[in-house]
Amino acid sequence: MDYEQFINRMKEHMEELLPSNTKCEIEKKDGNTTLLLQYEGENYSFHMTPQYESYLKGSSIRCILLSMIERMKRINSMNKDKTYCIGIKLINYEKHKEKLQNIRHEIYLDLAVVYYNLLDGVEIFQEGSLNESDSKEIVSYHKAMENTINYLGINLNTMEDILFSMIYEEDIEYSYSDVISNITYKLDKDKTMYVLTNKKKLYGAITLLYPQICEVFAARMDSNFFILPSSVHELILIPDKGEIDKEDLANMVYEINRSEVLPKDFLSDSIYYYDKKDSKVIIL
């Protein structure tokens, strides 16, 4: 099936799957083809090139369409119930100590888990603060984690393959169990460095706290591993094969933080370490 046939088939099947009052149009502009949808009062657009590439890689049209519909339903739910909008991110505790007096957070090692609105990026104020009225919806840590996983997903790449996602294909949604399964059975375990972030590469360091991620990665590598705080947006995982000097890693992180990382993206100068025996992350 060529590209034009694919686009027309996508539109036809989308119209069959969605309610009859849903508007579905194809827009061609500046060399790009986009599927435009008006679904339950909200407007959505999906670029067709990534969808076609996924189709060529083996994804069925139905699978692609269902993932698009699932995304629209999730965003609708977030717009109707603001508790679905609240997620979490990791920032440096000491650097933001003053601000954290008013921001809802929890301490993790030398970092802070901060609650924020996934849609607009606004941080959630502490109960009792002067700005408490800005955030009337209070959610638990586990609910905020669930929202973060559902909205931002996860990417785990080898350093050599950083431009290609081994867990997610662009614009295709997978369940969290699928992600865990892919790490367990498909992740190339013979590489030296891996980049852990989320699908949007936005505040991706929080993926370190995603359930089971450290455990299944350590099991796949069959080793403990170092965790380098590349930025608030991503982490570098290095399996410990007994050949790495932690002082060299510390020096590397320190230098990169000052030469390549923007101040607003700084996460930490610390080197972290996951011990699979204790199932715990520590600071070295």
Q: What is the mean pLDDT of residues 228-241?
A: 94
Q: Considering only 4-18, 122-136, 204-218, which range has the smallest mean pLDDT?
A: 122-136
237-245 CB contacts, 8 Å cutoff, 24+ apart? 237/193, 237/194, 237/195, 237/196, 238/192, 238/193, 238/194, 239/189, 239/192, 240/273
In the sheet that holds 32-39, the strands lie side by side as 23-29, 32-39, 42-47
Per-residue pLDDT band for 170 (boundaries 50, 70, 90) equals: very low
Q: What is the CA radius of gyration of the chain?
A: 21
What is the spatial distance between Cα 94 and Cα 111, in angstroms, rounded to a whole number? 8
Query: Can you give the pLDDT at residue 276?
Result: 92
Using pLDDT thresholds of 50, 70 and 90, give the confidence band for residue 85. Answer: confident
pLDDT of 169 reads: 43
Indicate whether 167 pLDDT > 60. no
- What CA dihedral angle connects 90, 95, 101 and 105, to 10 degrees? 10
Does the CA dihedral 107-109-111-116 come out positive or negative? negative
Return all residues near 220 (Cβ < 8 A) that are at least 6 apart: 183, 184, 187, 189
Question: Which pLDDT score is estimated for 174?
Answer: 54
Which pLDDT does position 231 carry in this prediction?
95
Q: Which of 83-92, 169-178, 210-219, 269-278 has the lowest mean pLDDT?
A: 169-178
Average pLDDT along the chain: 83
Say if residue 165's pLDDT is above 50: no
pLDDT at 76 over 80: no
pLDDT at 129 over 90: no
pLDDT in tens, 175-233: 566 667 777 666 777 778 899 998 888 999 999 999 989 999 999 999 999 999 999 99
In this structure, are residues 153 and 168 in contact, taking their beta carbons and an 8 Å threshold?
Answer: yes
Q: Which of 4-18, 93-107, 182-196 has the lowest mean pLDDT?
A: 182-196
Whole-model pTM above 0.75? no
pLDDT top residue among 83 and 93: 93
Separation between Cα atoms, residue 247 and residue 271, nearest integer Å: 9
End-to-end CA distance of the chain: 54
Above 80 in pLDDT, residue 79? no
| Closest to 90 measured CA to CA, from 127, 141, 143 | 141
